[in-house]
Amino acid sequence: MPKVTEEHRAARKKQIVQAALRRFAQTGFAATSMADIIEESGLSAGAIYGHYKSKDELIEIAVSEILDARFLELAQERATGHLPSPGDVLRTVIGGLTSQVGELQLLVQIWGQVPVNPELGGVARTIGHRARELFTSHLTAWYARTRGLGDDDAAALARRFAPLYVGMLQGYVTQSVLFDDFDGEAYLSAAGAVEPA
User: What average pLDDT does the chain have?
Assistant: 83
Which part of the chain has CATH 1.10.10.60?
1-53
Question: What number of other Cβ atoms are within 10 A of residue 38's Cβ?
Answer: 20
Task: Tell me the residue type at 16.
Answer: I
Instruction: At 49, give phi and psi (nearest 5°).
Output: -70, -15
**How does pLDDT run across 99-119, given as a tens digit for each residue?**
776 667 777 777 777 777 777
Largest CA distance in the chain: 61
Do 160 and 55 meet the contact criterion of CB atoms below 8 Å apart?
no
Q: Which CATH number fits domain 55-192: 1.10.357, 1.10.3210, 3.40.50, 3.30.470?
A: 1.10.357
Query: Do residues 48 and 129 touch, judged by C-beta distance below 8 A?
Result: no
Q: Which part of the chain is CATH 1.10.357?
A: 55-192
End-to-end CA distance of the chain: 61
Q: What is the pLDDT of residues 35-93, one digit of tens each?
A: 888 888 888 888 888 888 888 787 777 777 776 777 777 778 777 888 888 988 898 88
CATH code, 1-53:
1.10.10.60
